[in-house]
Structure 1
Amino acid sequence: MAREHDGSYQPNAKARKQQEKDQRRMEFRRAIESYCDRRELLRSLADYPELQDITVWQVSAATSPKNAQQAR
């Protein structure tokens, strides 16, 4: 591990590439989970014909992390 004189950690190239790879993997995983959650919600709405007009975009807006943070 490379350390600066002030004690902060500066990753070497190999560690930095691994960290970037892990970050991309987690972003991809979150996207898949979000997609699955939206599909499950739309599938559950199929039981209610009066809600058939709801689109994927409306579901996406309702389940976005930004809206979840605003609800807190």
Structure 2
Amino acid sequence: MAQSYEERNSAVKTRRQQEDQRRMAFRRAIEDHTSQRQLRLETADYPDLNGINYWQAAPASDRRSARPVR
């Protein structure tokens, strides 16, 4: 039995949406990879920063917690 125009149109729209979603996911992955690569290149001049993160860099005594207001 032949499909109606609306069913075919709906199937085409669904397929295009899925293709667009895959294309955008791929594009985001490329952009993320590019930005990660750029960050690595920018920080390559500072090899001592590779193993340090914020919590390791700041001693516990320097971090202050918020005190409740009385």
Runs of 4+, deviation exceeding 3 Å: none
The structure where helix makes up a greater share of residues is 1
Q: Which has the larger radius of gyration?
A: 2
Q: Secondary structure at the match of 1:47?
A: coil
Taking only aligned residues, the RMSD between alpha carbons, in angstroms, comes to 2.2
Match of 1:35 among 30, 33, 42: 33
Q: Give me the whole-angstrom Cα distance separating, in 1, the residues matched to 2:51 and 2:38.
A: 16
- The aligned counterpart of 1:48 is 46
How high is the TM-score relative to the length of structure 2? 0.57
Aligned length: 47
| Identity %, equivalent residues | 46
- The aligned counterpart of 2:11 is 13
Q: Secondary structure at the match of 1:12?
A: helix
The structure where strand makes up a greater share of residues is 1
How high is the TM-score relative to the length of structure 1? 0.55
Q: Give me the whole-angstrom Cα distance separating, in 2, the residues matched to 1:15 and 1:51.
A: 49
Mark the runs of 5 or more structure 2 residues left unpaired by the alignment.
1-5, 54-70
RCO comparison, higher one (Cα < 8 Å, 6+): 1
